[in-house]
Amino acid sequence: MRAAGADACLITSNVNLFYAAGQVLMGYLYISASHPPLVFVRRPTGLSGEHIVYVRKPEEMAEILTQRGFPHPACLMLEGDTITHGEWLRYGAVFSGAELINGTPAIRRARSVKTEYEINLMRQSGKIHAAVYGKIPALYRVGMTDVELSVEIEREMRLAGSYGIFRVFGQSMEIFMGSVLVGDNAGEPSPYDFGLGGKGQHPSIPVGANYTVLREGMSVMVDMGGNFTGYLTDMTRTYSIGKLSEKACFAHQTALSIQDELVKMARPGVIGEEMYDKALEMAKKSGLSDCFMGVRQQARFVGHGVGVEINEPPVLGARSKTPLEAGMILAIEPKFVIEGTGAVGIENTFLVTKSGGEKLTLMDDQIIEIGC
């Protein structure tokens, strides 16, 4: 806030309230650069504490600040990327005379570097996430569709403690608990900015499984978000119905080699663009650049930060100049789509350290054969 010249920040979104105040509520967290924070609560009832103040509407905040001896901000940060234009104008009227600036980049930058507390939560999530993936072969039944398999995996995730919500940054980004991509559906373009798309079940949510029947020779890519602690881990594993083609197996091994190189690079000071360029170089050298991160529509990244949302900074992609810092947590996801087979590749969650990435989703990375 001080670096941006702001006197205060007003937080209202669920994700940032959870991050900064420890719980989701209907209300407003007012963080002053010089005074203690205040939580202006509308719902739920029953909260108490020296920082808690109940209000009926945001217009009451300015008077309460005056009563408590807080200076009114000359420059106020708002979550410009998530609130509506109407809310922006309303908060501007509440804090009349204050310059309003977009605080979303600063908030997301702060969230990108995790504390030990957050890292431990993500270690816990990674452990449970991997345990659930280990059960997937037993969920397969001959003749089932990708949607049916997805439902079974979602059930196991919920039984293992998943909260069921998959938080994504961006108003046009939505999905339930993740995607299961089977066969050529993995190459179907989607309007959403995920690594791979899939046609989906309906035009209202055009991503993921599309009722493809699982058949021998198809790959099954499972990319379900692990939300077991309020902090998400991101993990993809490739399963196969019987044996996959020689090209698909070669592409998978190439993905593992790319992952190994990027893990070595996941150190403080390295920028995301360098990691993406390395991945592109290795895909090209393997003769697979035409199917790297998609076929008809190719993603321009090979990884991203994760935390309270699945797509936090930094991005490991083209034009990404953000240097990595120790304590960042990245999902690294080199993937290929082989026509006639489906998607192969890998995704794991790694902690950035001085010596490279530390894997948090501890499970074998090889293709797992099911239905054999």
Mean pLDDT of the region 22-45: 97
Pair (330, 187) in one structural domain: yes
Q: How many folded domains does the chain comprise?
A: 2
Mean pLDDT of the region 294-298: 95
CATH number of the structural domain spanning residue 20: 3.40.350.10
Query: Does position 329 have pLDDT exceeding 70, yes or no?
Result: yes
95 domain-assigned: yes
1 domain-assigned: no
pLDDT the model gives residue 372: 63
Q: Name the token pair of 249.
A: 């197996």
Q: Name the token pair of 141.
A: 């039944």
pLDDT the model gives residue 172: 81
Contact criterion met (CB below 8 Å) for 212 and 180: no
2 domain-assigned: no
Pair (147, 270) in one structural domain: yes
pLDDT the model gives residue 247: 98
Q: Mean pLDDT score of the chain, rounded to an integer?
A: 96
Pair (81, 117) in one structural domain: no
Pair (361, 253) in one structural domain: yes
Pair (119, 94) in one structural domain: no
Mean pLDDT of the region 27-55: 96
Distance between CA 197 and CA 177 in Å, rounded? 14
Q: Name the token pair of 32.
A: 């002053």
Prior bond of 44 cis (ω within 30°): yes
Pair (123, 233) in one structural domain: yes
Confidence grade of residue 88 (pLDDT, cut at 50, 70, 90): very high
pLDDT tens profile 344-355: 999 999 999 999
pLDDT tens profile 190-240: 999 999 999 999 999 999 999 999 999 999 999 999 999 999 999 999 999
User: Which of 93, 110, 127 lies at the terminal end of a domain, its last residue?
Assistant: 110
Pair (33, 165) in one structural domain: no
First to last CA, the chain: 57
User: Which of 110, 131, 161 lies at the terminal end of a domain, its last residue?
Assistant: 110
Q: What is the pTM of this model?
A: 0.95
Mean pLDDT of the region 169-178: 88
Strand spans (E) along the chain: 8-11, 26-32, 38-43, 52-54, 75-78, 99-102, 178-182, 219-224, 226-227, 232-233, 236-241, 301-305, 312-317, 329-332, 335-338, 342-345, 348-353, 356-359, 368-370
Percent of the chain's residues with pLDDT above 70: 100
Percent of the chain's residues with pLDDT above 90: 97
Task: State the DSSP code for 292.
Answer: B
Contact criterion met (CB below 8 Å) for 301 and 317: yes
Distance between CA 259 and CA 146 in Å, rounded? 26
Domain that holds residue 23: 8-110
